[in-house]
Structure 1
């Protein structure tokens, strides 16, 4: 079992991208435009010279959007961006160095125990991160660190959203890959000398047959990685064996991450319950509504807004 924070650390390090999977294949431009506009509207309501907090920042996508939007609007803001995972966003922001200098990143931070004083932020945001934390503690900390009247804006997973629905099939796919005698076992046994290429090819044929001669995305990526492991002459056996072990670890981490995502996503009743909790905690003007993106207006998540 991969620990929760380890799953996300593995994901952010391996992803080599700013965002988690928040844009859909073939819809990147429209989805990204809608998401940037969402955060730009938030910055409009923040004071120039303000100090903003990005909760569960990942690789810093929202933090970057905040400072970019502020520059577009002629505002001067700084951002503190935290995440429970061991994040290293600076390595993904090299082409945004002017903006990155306005962001202070900090990994290993639980949003239920923020390392900041009371009423020290002029606004707070989170994109697909706040909902992973225990709600009562996370809301209490959000209320504690915001100055009176300061706004907050959250984008959280929707149970029926476009990012949640594919998880069920992908979790099942990974379970098949990791199962006893499955593809990953075949790879490791081949490299260890306890199985043959025939066994690996047989597993490939079986998977093709079960999927109408069209391999699912993750399985296809595994086969591409296997070809590289087996054909590159510059890799000695020890490196290939380690590569197969790393492949298993990444799949286990991705499986855990997807399970967490499904568990964290909110139904309509759960979104309403979160809003009531916020109001009871002393936050004001709390509202929730679905958030749609793209020309097809796909449901991406819930947008939750309010102020201290």
Structure 2
């Protein structure tokens, strides 16, 4: 049984991830993200109320709080997500930077439940493109105050981030192939033998030869888990088999999540279509442009900005 979209993301966020990708969080202020979100905070009045759509574990609220502190402003943030989220509890000590943020999970971006004109600003990072645009766009404009700015960072189809998703999908395919590491591990646990162990070692060696230093975080997790499962002789075999089944499902869920991200990524036509939808819905001062890292070498995404009509 496959997990639903919200369940995929619930599992991902509850594992302690901070951003959409599997790598280290882009939270160091050196990647272009901080300047982008600071620009929004600079436009807002003191005590502005901001909504972050598809907030996950609060990557954007971290940036917003940091920007407000730098600019000497007071803001309040509500982060909503379709997944079941609780960043403060999930991240523990790593929740620093989320003080004063209210998180609300299990919330459809097309039916937020907030009143008209509830917010003076809105943000979204790699999230709104997953929602049904024809409903999410008017809903966003409805809950924004007159003249309130919004800044949306959208997945760019040819960005390094999206290309990394595609590469990770391919690597998971390799791990789960008939001659891959995961089936070989299951064989060792189900029918232990020298031949099965040799096949497992061969699968691991071939994977490392193919990916080497470019091993993805999910593959690193799988290699570590395989080593534990195979070498934990003191753990009953049925328990190890159950753990292997959970690992198999974890891989399938991650593969489905990455496919979802890759499908949501926008080429130029799709990005302009979304901008046009905002225009039709009554948004003002719209701008769409590619957003680059600080070295202006890599595309981070599409930056779509505008205002709720005055």
By the TM > 0.5 criterion, same fold?
yes
Q: Give yes or no for contact 1:24–1:31 (8 Å, CA) kept in 2.
A: no
Aligned to 1:3: 4
Mark the CA change 1:203 to 1:23 in structure 2 (over 3 Å): closer, same or farther: closer
- Between 5-14 and 280-289, the greater mean CA deviation after superposition: 5-14
The count of corresponding residues between Structure 1 and Structure 2 is 303
Aligned to 1:47: 45
Aligned to 1:273: 273
Aligned to 2:140: 142
Mark the CA change 1:234 to 1:48 in structure 2 (over 3 Å): closer, same or farther: farther
Mark the CA change 1:102 to 1:207 in structure 2 (over 3 Å): closer, same or farther: closer
Aligned to 1:202: 202
Instruction: Measure how far apart 1:194 and its partner are.
Output: 5.9
Q: SS of the residue aligned with 1:202?
A: helix
Q: SS of the residue aligned with 2:79?
A: strand
Q: Give yes or no for contact 1:70–1:77 (8 Å, CA) kept in 2.
A: yes
The C-alpha deviation readout for 1:172-225, integer Å capped at 9, x for no partner, is 22122223453212212322336632231232344356x287774344542222
1:168 aligns with 2:166: yes
Q: SS of the residue aligned with 2:300?
A: strand
Q: Give yes or no for contact 1:174–1:255 (8 Å, CA) kept in 2.
A: yes
Mark the CA change 1:192 to 1:55 in structure 2 (over 3 Å): closer, same or farther: same
**Matches of 2:266 and 2:197 in 1, distance apart?**
45
Q: Which runs of 5+ in 1 are unaligned?
A: none
Aligned to 1:223: 223
1:94 aligns with 2:93: yes
**Matches of 1:141 and 1:174 in 2, distance apart?**
37
Q: Give yes or no for contact 1:30–1:295 (8 Å, CA) kept in 2.
A: no
**Matches of 2:298 and 2:29 in 1, distance apart?**
11
Q: Which runs of 5+ in 2 are unaligned?
A: none
Instruction: Measure how far apart 1:13 and its partner are.
Output: 2.0
TM-score, scaled to structure 1 = 0.89
**Matches of 2:22 and 2:289 in 1, distance apart?**
18
The C-alpha deviation readout for 1:65-107, integer Å capped at 9, x for no partner, is 212221221211111101111122113263555x534111011
**Matches of 1:22 and 1:205 in 2, distance apart?**
23
**Matches of 2:296 and 2:288 in 1, distance apart?**
21
Q: How does 1:1-308 map to 2 (within 5 A)?
A: 1-14=2-15, 16-21=16-21, 29=28, 31-32=30-31, 34-90=32-88, 91-92=90-91, 94=93, 96=95, 99-193=97-191, 196-208=196-208, 211=210, 216-217=215-216, 218-232=218-232, 235-295=235-295, 297-308=297-308
Q: Give yes or no for contact 2:14–2:85 (8 Å, CA) kept in 1.
A: yes
**Matches of 2:136 and 2:86 in 1, distance apart?**
23
**Matches of 1:74 and 1:296 in 2, distance apart?**
28
Q: Give yes or no for contact 1:83–1:108 (8 Å, CA) kept in 2.
A: yes
